Amino acid sequence: MQNIKSDFPILKRKINGKALIYLDNASTTQKPKTVLKALVDFYSTSNANIHRGIHTISEEATDKYEEVRKKVAKFIGATEEEIIFTKSATESINCVAVAWGQKHINAGDEIIVSALEHHANLVPWQELAKNKKAILKIIPLTANYILDTDAYQKLLSAKTKLVCVTAQSNVTGTITPVKKIVEMAHIVGAKVMVDGAQSVGHTPTNLTSLGCDFFAFSAHKMMGPTGVGVLYIRSDLMNEMTPFMYGGEMIESVQEKSATYRTGHWKFEAGTPNIAGVVAYGAAIDYINKIGLKNIADHDKELLAYAKKMLARYPQVKVFSPSKPQDTGAVLSFAIDGVHPHDIATIFNDHGIAIRSGLHCAEPLLQKLGAPNGTARLSFYIYNTKKDIDTVEIALKKVLKIFKL
């Protein structure tokens, strides 16, 4: 991963007189020049609405937009008919809760979610369960921060209609056994919603082999622009779902008092989407493909191991991370007794280091981890280096010195 930093203009910034060290990649990632250029190029040369005009630039815009749908499908091992563009992973999950959940969840049904979920893959199911008088059940964690699959097996029954699980936690970095979770759910006839927000930009994904029913993620966590999300719906499920939003583009024909809707993924894309964002997202996927997801995953593992080894030298620091490298992605949460995570983040910022601190949109998980004030979180991507972690160590020493620990 030599010289990759130079592809990212923002990494030239100075923060408090120090070079920016960006370690908040689980929140959002930085964008390479090619993605920025794709945005400017689109608005400079092909900007038009899609699927409506028969003029040249509208056709160009439509082609570029649909080209990215194919690219995304290939990237995650799906077909283009199964890809819906949304504004975020959050919107994608909410779409499933409305378009599938409203019709298929009934009183007394059970929805299983894991203890690792981000609020985005928890609160929509709480709400659905409440409205439908369904029951929400939680897959617990083991002491090693991984999902307790034995407990999961016991939760499954003929009443289970849906299982919602993240592919990778944004707090502990835990990589979950999605394939196994899907197989077990399908035995009792339940559908599976997978939150891939943290995994897709870091490790190869093949939905054909995973076999899940729904899969959601955000472009901005994989070097694409903000405002673009993806929802995968397995093709055979589309027909049993109702539209999520109503308006232009998703209709077949409209009379004054009624309308009919298009079929397949079209019925879920109402209104003008983030066209330029989707087009630039294509450049992000090209960039990732050029580097190779396998290389990204290896780089993540190397940095994670290096950072864990560094933190282990400080007995004041508690890490919340599975013991085995194969169970952990590019995220490392830690806490220091007697120092609030926000104070750690403030002192890190004085060193130019950007990290996330607090509850990471996963309040129930932080309670369970015994960190009600939250954690400080390092999260890596391809432009991070071991030298960045060395600077983290300097900042960490400063924290311990200030708080006399």
Ligand X SMILES: Cc1ncc(COP(=O)(O)O)c(C=O)c1O
CA distance 363 to 333: 14
**Tokens linked to 310:** 């560094």
Measured from the CB atom, is 160 or 170 closer to ligand X?
170
Q: Which does 195 bind (CB under 5 to 8 A by kind): other proteins, ligand X, none?
A: ligand X
Q: For the chain, how far is it from start to end, CA to CA, in angstroms? A: 36
Measured from the CB atom, is 117 or 269 closer to ligand X?
117
Q: Which does 197 bind (CB under 5 to 8 A by kind): ligand X, other proteins, none?
A: ligand X
CB of 358: closest distance to other proteins in angstroms?
5
Q: Which does 358 bind (CB under 5 to 8 A by kind): other proteins, ligand X, none?
A: other proteins
Q: Which does 166 bind (CB under 5 to 8 A by kind): other proteins, ligand X, none?
A: ligand X
Q: What one-character-per-residue DSSP string does 240-274 give?
A: G---SS-SSSSEEEE-SS-EEE--GGGGG--S---
Assess contact for 16 and 27: CB atoms under 8 A.
Answer: no
The site for other proteins (CB under 8 A) is made up of 16, 338-343, 346-347, 350, 358-359, 363, 372-374, 402-404
Measured from the CB atom, is 16 or 144 closer to other proteins?
16
Q: Which residue has 């699959």 as its token pair?
A: 149
CB of 343: closest distance to other proteins in angstroms?
5
What beta strand segments (E) does 25-177 contain?
83-86, 110-114, 135-139, 160-166
Q: Which does 118 bind (CB under 5 to 8 A by kind): ligand X, other proteins, none?
A: ligand X
Q: Which does 374 bind (CB under 5 to 8 A by kind): ligand X, other proteins, none?
A: other proteins
CA distance 76 to 124: 24
CB of 332: closest distance to ligand X in angstroms?
14
The site for ligand X (CB under 6 A) is made up of 26, 88-90, 118, 120-121, 166, 170, 195, 197-198, 218, 361
Residue 93: count other Cβ atoms within 10 Å of its Cβ.
28
- How long, in residues, is the chain? 405
Residue 63: count other Cβ atoms within 10 Å of its Cβ.
12
CB of 145: closest distance to ligand X in angstroms?
15
Beta bridge partners of 268: none
Measured from the CB atom, is 137 or 356 closer to ligand X?
356
Relative to beta strand 375-379, strand 331-336 is: antiparallel
CB of 377: closest distance to ligand X in angstroms?
11
Is the dihedral angle over the CA atoms 49, 50, 54, 60 positive or is it negative? positive
CB of 402: closest distance to other proteins in angstroms?
5
Assess contact for 224 and 195: CB atoms under 8 A.
Answer: no
Assess contact for 281 and 224: CB atoms under 8 A.
Answer: yes
Q: Which does 402 bind (CB under 5 to 8 A by kind): other proteins, ligand X, none?
A: other proteins
DSSP state of 64: H
Measured from the CB atom, is 99 or 371 closer to other proteins?
371
Q: Pick from 51, 1, 101, 84: which is nearest to 269 by CA?
A: 84
361 is catalytic: yes
CB of 106: closest distance to other proteins in angstroms?
33
Q: 183 in the Ramachandran plot: left (φ > 0), alpha (ψ -120 to 50) or beta?
A: alpha
Among 95, 164, 212, 361, the one annotated catalytic: 361
How do the residues of the chain divide into helix, strand and coil, expressed in percent and rounded to 5? 45, 20, 35
CA distance 26 to 308: 17
Measured from the CB atom, is 261 or 403 closer to other proteins?
403
Measured from the CB atom, is 51 or 398 closer to other proteins?
398
Residues that are catalytic: 361
